[in-house]
């Protein structure tokens, strides 16, 4: 009998020890996260102070360290873009402004600074005027984040299912008709918002565009150095990535022209 009691108490002790270990682990994770957040905040403040004192090299180093830790925010990209602009690194500055706008398309300061930086690009490739439907769709997609569009899609799906449920269960013809129309409208809007959410998420994860960081590079007609040169591109030029063969990438310019660039001359937004 004593052995059974001892065994029971041993099991209880083991359970208590496991629970205590879980609590200690949770407390440790919270502590580490808190310390990490405080360290990042302190580093961000140091970078901002260095920028204000015109110590742009140190500011860039601190901002880059924060990003290397996986902590992304429009403010970090924007400040980093300003620091790069002050040091004359036009391509890097434009890259960070573009990344700012990818996270926050309505950032007016980033839009303004990007326009100022783009004016300094040598032989800036003039973009084709966008088709009005494409411009409308892009504006609609960027008006809300992918998460908000996704939430709306879920809500509209439930409303659509509710409408179809009324259509199936209602006894009066008028109610059936209204339920069917509501379900159909909800289904259409659900598909629309789902598409907007999907495109928004894809762009947030990978814009499909890049910025040339080399002072100048030839856009070539084929994927090798011996291919004919199409046009000479300069630092800060924005390109769209289409395909790649080995170390060569097929790209499209803002004016619709296509060609090939070697690896290492650009960085993805």
Per-residue pLDDT at 133: 84
Q: Which residue has the higher pLDDT, 17 or 111?
A: 111
What does the pLDDT read at residue 35?
41
CB 269 within 8 A of CB 102: yes
**At residue 248, does pLDDT exceed 90?**
yes
At 88-130, the pLDDT tens digits run 999 999 999 999 998 888 899 999 999 999 999 988 888 777 7
Beta strands in the chain (DSSP E): 209-212, 216-220, 229-234, 238-245, 248-252, 258-262, 266-268
First to last CA, the chain: 71
Say what the pLDDT of residue 23 is: 47
pLDDT bucket at 202, cuts 50 / 70 / 90 = confident
Q: What is the pLDDT of residue 4?
A: 30
What's phi and psi for 236, nearest 5 deg? 100, -10
pLDDT of the residue at 116: 96
| 159 CB-near residues (< 8 Å, 6+ apart) | 182, 186
> Which residues, 6 or more positions from 146, have their beta carbon under 8 angstroms from its beta carbon?
196, 197, 198, 200, 201, 204
Q: pLDDT band for 40, please (50, 70, 90 cuts).
A: low
Query: The whole model's pTM is what?
Result: 0.67
Could you give the CA distance from residue 22 to residue 100 in angstroms, rounded to a whole number? 39
pLDDT band at 87 (very low <50, low <70, confident <90, very high): very high
Q: What is the mean pLDDT of residues 163-171?
A: 93
Higher-confidence residue of 134 and 111: namely: 111
Mean pLDDT of the chain: 85
């Amino acid at each position: 009998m004593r052995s059974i009691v001892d065994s029971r108490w041993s099991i209880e002790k083991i359970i208590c020890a496991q629970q205590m270990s879980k609590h200690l682990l949770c407390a440790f994770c919270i502590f580490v996260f808190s310390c990490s957040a405080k360290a990042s905040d302190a580093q961000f403040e140091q970078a901002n102070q260095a920028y204000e004192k015109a110590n742009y090299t140190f500011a860039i180093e601190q901002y880059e360290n924060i990003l290397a830790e996986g902590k992304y925010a429009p403010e970090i990209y924007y400040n980093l873009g300003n620091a790069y602009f002050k040091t004359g690194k036009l391509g890097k500055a434009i890259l960070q402004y573009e990344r700012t706008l990818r996270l926050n398309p309505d950032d007016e300061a980033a839009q303004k600074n990007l326009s100022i930086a783009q004016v300094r690009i040598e032989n800036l490739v003039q973009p084709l005027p966008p088709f009005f439907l494409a411009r409308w769709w892009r504006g609609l997609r960027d008006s809300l984040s992918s998460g908000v569009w996704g939430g709306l899609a879920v809500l509209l799906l439930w409303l659509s299912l509710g409408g179809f449920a009324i259509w199936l269960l209602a006894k009066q013809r008028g109610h059936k008709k209204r339920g069917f129309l509501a379900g159909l409208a909800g289904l259409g809007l659900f598909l629309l918002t789902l598409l907007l959410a999907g495109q928004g998420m894809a762009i947030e994860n990978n814009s499909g565009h890049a910025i040339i960081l080399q002072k100048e590079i030839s856009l070539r007609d084929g994927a090798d150095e011996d291919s004919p040169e199409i046009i000479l591109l300069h630092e800060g030029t924005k390109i769209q990535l289409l395909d790649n063969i080995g170390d060569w990438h097929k790209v499209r310019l803002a004016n619709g022209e296509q060609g090939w660039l070697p690896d290492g001359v650009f960085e993805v937004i």
